[in-house]
Each structure stands twice: as structure tokens, then as C-alpha cells.
Amino acid sequence: MKYTYYGHSTFLLELENARILFDPFISPNELAKGIDINSIKCDYILLSHGHGDHVADVEVIAKNNNATIVAIYELASYYGAKNYKHHPMNTGGRWDFGKFSVKVVNAVHSSVLPDGTYCGHPVGFIITEGTKSVYYSGDTALHMDMQLIGNYHKLDRAFLCMGDNFTMGVDDAIIAADFIQCNKITGMHLFSYIKIDHQKTIQKFDESGKTLVLPEIGKTYEV
């Protein structure tokens, strides 16, 4: 597995036989102005919730790629009503897509589309391909359900929000890494005024025995 960062909370996860894009928010993000969304190739788009900073480019990219949108039932159905390919799921459910599986896990946040449409509960995802698994937290507060993830899944990497204000901050993200029992972390939900001190944050993770990547936009990393 490898992943490419497109800013904020947007990642492209490349598996052996599938490409999964998480929460596409690129064109409105001035930090990602060097990214051409029409050049992004993906088979699936996973949406953690309906806020504008997670769905801004979903329709353009889904149409360009004939990609399947995977999300909580209400959110997936919203795009299904617009004739996009979609697969609805709900919290606690797992689905085998053949090339990989998706487990939907709890997130503590809010969720509504920019047009005011209710779109279900926010979620996170565990993606498994063969013996490898990654956790994408979506937008969330620290919560005790994360301990269940660590008890039942051996994670190779976790993508954790840590910008604070709207989600958990750095200190809570370190506790979350303990809960999920994963020491390889990639930080996300960072843009505009949601900023962290990179050096101090990396040092805090180092001191807790964890490796933190704060990725560069447009750069590709190994899981």
C-alpha cells in the first residue's frame, strides 16, 4: 500500500488492485492549488461525513472516474439520487469489495451537507487488503470506542485528525493512537487557521514512542 496526500484530510490510498480516495476537498483549498483534480484516478471515494471541507470535489472526481461513492446510508443515497454509483453502509458494518474490505466505525462529530441536507452520522473507516489494514478516523473527538479498534484490528497505519477546534487535538490524538494500538500515524485535518506546530507535535509523538508523518501535499508515502 501507498498513499498520496492532497491536503486537509484528502488522501489517495493505492492498493494492489484498487485506488481509494478519502474525503475530496482540493479545489477550494488554497494550499492544494497545485493539484489538478482532473488528473486524480480512483475507483472508490470514501466519505466520512457531509461537511463541505470533505465533499467539495466528490461529484467532479466521481464523474471523471465512474467511481463508487461509499458512505453512511443517508450520504451515499444523496449521491445515488444524483445517479452516481454508490454503496451505502452504516456504523459497525463491514463489506468485502473483492479487492479489499471496508469496516465502518464510530466517529464523534457532526454531519450535514452544504445545502443543509441531513446526511447521517459521521464515521471512520478501516480498510483491509490481505494482511494489511489502515484506519482513517474522519473528523472525530477522542472516544472510548477507539479501544475496540485496537482490540480487533492490527493496524499498519492510522490517519488521525489532530487540528483541534473542530476535532481532537494533538494530545488527544496521541491517546487515540494508544487506544487503537498503532504507532505509525499520519496527521490530517490541517488547513487555513487549523494549524499545529509541526516540530513540537512530531516531538510529542516521538516521546510517546510513535512515528508521526505530517505529509506534504502532492507527495506519496509508503504505508
At 196, is the pLDDT very low, low, confident or very high (cuts 50, 70, 90)? confident
What pLDDT is attached to residue 51?
A: 96
Which fold, 2-222?
A: Metallo-beta-lactamase; Chain A (3.60.15)
Model confidence at 194: pLDDT above 80:
no
Residue 100 CA neighbour count, 13 Å, CB half:
23
Residue 207 makes CB contacts below 8 A (sequence gap 6+) with: none
Provide the angle, in degrees to the nearest 10, between the axes of the packed helices 73-80 and 58-65: 60
pLDDT of 195: 78
Question: So what's the pLDDT on residue 43?
Answer: 98
**Per-residue pLDDT for 38 more than 70?**
yes
In the chain, the amino acid numbered 152 is: Y
pLDDT beyond 80 at 28:
yes
Region 86-91 average pLDDT: 98
What is the reported pTM?
0.96
Query: Grid coordinates standing for 45?
Result: 471515494
Domain coordinates in residue numbering, the chain? 2-222
